[in-house]
Structure 1
Amino acid sequence: MVKIDNIELPDFPLLLAPMEDVTDPPFRAVCKNNGADLVYTEFISSEGLIRDAIKCRRKLDIFDYERPVGIQIFGGDEDSLAMASRIVDVTSPDLLDINFGCPVKKVAGAGAGAGVLKDLNLMVRLTDACVKATNLPVTVKTRLGWDEDSKNIEEVAERLQDVGIKALAIHGRTRSQMYKGEADWTLIGKVKNNPRIRIPIFGNGDIDSPQKALEYKNRYGIDGIMIGRAAIGHPWIFREIKHYLQTGEMHHPPTVAERVGVCKQHLRKSVAWKGPRTGIFEMRACYAKYLKGLPNIKEFRNRLVVLTEPEEIEAVLDEVLTTYQGFEVAYEPIELINYHENCPL
């Protein structure tokens, strides 16, 4: 068992990484149903929460069926982060996570997200402000450092633990790398194996197969894995990894019925949470991923992306199920897209 303060997770838990414009309640539900042990909201601006920005407040929506769930916030001002922490506290998530890892220019360039990596003392002060402002367990997601010359994650881990965080998730790249190149987990392993570190350490970056998950588990000794881009359009990655860790064998690819079922579940929750117009529009980018591997599926996809009524969309999905019933989809490698530059959801 892995514990984040009073939150009990199974041995070697799998976490769904917080991703802007991706990990909304409908997507979190799909991942939870397929084996994610802990899920996170999209990141939320502390300044937006304080100003009562509608989009930011809406991101606070959480549901009992997705617990345990963490709400992630970001910002570069101590008072604002503290006030945002108190606002989050009222919504009663299971934990509060601070984003010190987002590399996009509009966030990092404004001194938040990965931008805080340039000032470790500020990172400590911001974290301390959050810990003192909330009764929730506080966790952090960050990167190895700002660039190749400032990989300070080992010191970061010790100092943030000292001010009270209960877990740390580390993406194996610097901010300068964005999502390019291969994630380097060497320093993540060093953090985990530091005898001073008592909190759970979760690794993140480039986990795109059950085989790699097992390899990194054994090589680096981390407490669990946080999965981001590999789950986009393929929420089955969680159950596939769990099955492989338990049996050493690959789980069968999702059946056509499972693919159609996930499409329907995602659609219904998207419509219920966002309303028919937005919910249907934002689902249009999902069908290609969920139905990937089915031969001659383009005709169905072309119909799905122009329909405007949920009932019509579900009728076409039923046609897909009937047409491909019994067809076995071959396993295909998961494509890790750069979701910041080309967000599919």
Structure 2
Amino acid sequence: MLSKSFNIGHLNIKNRLIAAPMAGISDLPFRSLCYQFGAGLAFSEMFLANEQIWHTEQSLQKMASKHELGIKAVQIVGSDPDEMAKTAELNVIHGAELIDINMGCPAKKVNKKLAGSALLQYPNLVEQILLNVVQAVNVPVTLKIRTGWDKAHKNCIEIAQIAQRCGIKAITIHGRTRECLFKGLAEYDSIKEVKKNITIPVIANGDITCPEKANEVLKYTNADAIMIGRAAQGKPWIFEDIGFYLENKSLKPEKNIDEVKQIVLQHIKSIHQFYGEKKGLLIARKHVFWYTQNYINSDHFRRLFSAINHATQQIDALEAFFCTITVKS
């Protein structure tokens, strides 16, 4: 099942496992780990359609990188059709091989600007944005949505059909409405119905947290691929675990402490290198929180780790921590 590759436009995606675009998380160091552990595609965190900030270091760091291990896929977010087209063009000029349009983000600060999932309320505007972006670039364009604005207005089938008519090459659907945020359980009936009503690839997203769930969602929805988001935080090797299960119908043995330590150290060092020490120290903290949260007495370590102000001391502290930890039962 895993070995079933699929195409997004002219791009061949080697398997059915995709790393989600997550704001403040899906940077180059994180995407590199996802690719290293078997993701067929990894999207960047969302790039704002705002010319006034394109020159900033933060925006430049979100663009495609020559160091990308896999396909250079950049997600963009905004509400103005012309600005979205310009944003797509800019990123393609800087090396993006695939553009993804965010119409799924539920954050208030995004929605109040009529971007992200707020756009699902306005199918005509959705259509204009999609047409403008598709016509502006010569790379495949994909779309990420939720099932609708709220449970009374689930319109993912309508939006998916609009997307297909506009030339969108694949669509990802998170199995919640915007109203749900990340509460409750994701549902997959809507994704299954979208798959029945369009011919472009459909990617299922939401609450896929383990190999068994990944297999279940793929079978139930008949989706072309699954997208993993929060479950990869602190466990980027989840793609490897899911891939093993899909191929062998058995669970891959858990990584031992030394293997986890090496992954964490590799990640934190790459964060320091990518962002520089000052910013890297801050970003490393949240990843270390996720990596260490399942170990006994890790709360005390994280408090101490948050007070460290030098990159080398962060590495030394992690080395020491992994020499003393035990796994929670």
Q: TM-score range by the shorter chain?
A: over 0.9
SS in 2 for 1:122: helix
Amino acid in structure 2 at the alignment position of 1:222: A
Paired amino acid for 1:93: A
| Per-residue CA distance 1:271-316 (angstroms, 9 max, x = gap) | 1111111101221222232134433445544443333333333233
Deviating more after overlay: 122-131 vs 142-151: 142-151
Matched ranges for 1:34-183 at <5 A: 34-48=37-51, 52-183=55-186
Checking the alignment, whether the CA contact within 8 Å between 2:76 and 2:100 is kept in structure 1 is yes
The answer to whether the aligner puts 1:202 opposite 2:206 as a matched pair is: no
Residue 277 of structure 2 aligns with an amino acid whose one-letter code is P
Q: CA deviation at 1:53?
A: 4.2
Distance 1:97 1:256 in 2: 36
Equivalent residue runs for 1:1-345 within 5 Å: 1-11=5-15, 13-48=16-51, 52-194=55-197, 197-298=198-299, 300-323=301-324, 329=327
TM-score, with structure 2 as normaliser: 0.92
**Separation (CA, whole Å) in 1 of partners of 2:318 and 2:240:** 23
Unaligned runs of 5+ in 1: 333-345
The Cα shift of 1:216 comes to 1.1
Q: Distance in 1 between matches of 2:61 and 2:52?
A: 10
Contact 1:189/1:222 (<8 A) preserved? yes
* Cα drift, residue 56 of structure 1: 2.3
Identity, % of aligned positions: 34
Q: CA deviation at 1:215?
A: 0.9
Q: Quote how far apart the aligned CAs of 1:61 are.
A: 4.3
SS at match of 2:286: coil
- Which residue identity is paired with 1:179? F
Q: CA deviation at 1:88?
A: 1.0
Cα offset, 1:231, TM superposition: 0.9
Q: 1:148, 1:130 → 2: CA distance? A: 29
State how far apart, in whole Å, the 1-side matches of 2:111 and 2:267 are. Answer: 31
Q: Secondary structure at the match of 1:64?
A: coil
Mark the runs of 5 or more structure 2 residues left unpaired by the alignment.
none
Deviations for 1:247-281, whole angstroms, at most 9, x for unmatched residues? Answer: 11112222111221122111111111111111012
Change (3 A) 1:189 1:58: same
**What TM-score do the two structures reach when normalised by structure 1?**
0.88
Residue deviations 1:191-224 (CA, integer Å, cap 9, x gap) = 1122xx2211000011111111111111111111
